[in-house]
Amino acid sequence: MPELHWQKSSYSGGPEGNCLYLASTADGTIRLRESDTPDVILATAPEGLAALLQTLKSGGPTAVG
């Protein structure tokens, strides 16, 4: 696997010092890791990450009644 070029999220760096890092791969997937557990790497498609961010920005999922 080629070396990943990690970028710190612009939302990282709060008072606790915890940071989220992202990297993209040649196949278009996105890798995510946290500064306190850098060996744990999550993988997602760009569409999955975009959907998660949109859900979080909108206040989270709503209950279907």
* 10, 33, 57, 52: CA torsion to nearest 10: 140
- Residue 10 CA: distances (Å) to CA of 1, 2, 63: 26, 24, 31
Residue ranges of alpha helices (H) inside the chain are: 46-57
For residue 8, count other CB atoms closer than 10 A to its CB.
12
DSSP state of 60: S
List the chain domain ranges. 1-40
What is the per-residue pLDDT across 9-65, written as a single tens digit (0 to 9) for each? 887 776 667 789 999 999 999 999 998 899 999 999 999 989 988 888 888 776 554
- Tokens at residue 14, please? 């709060």
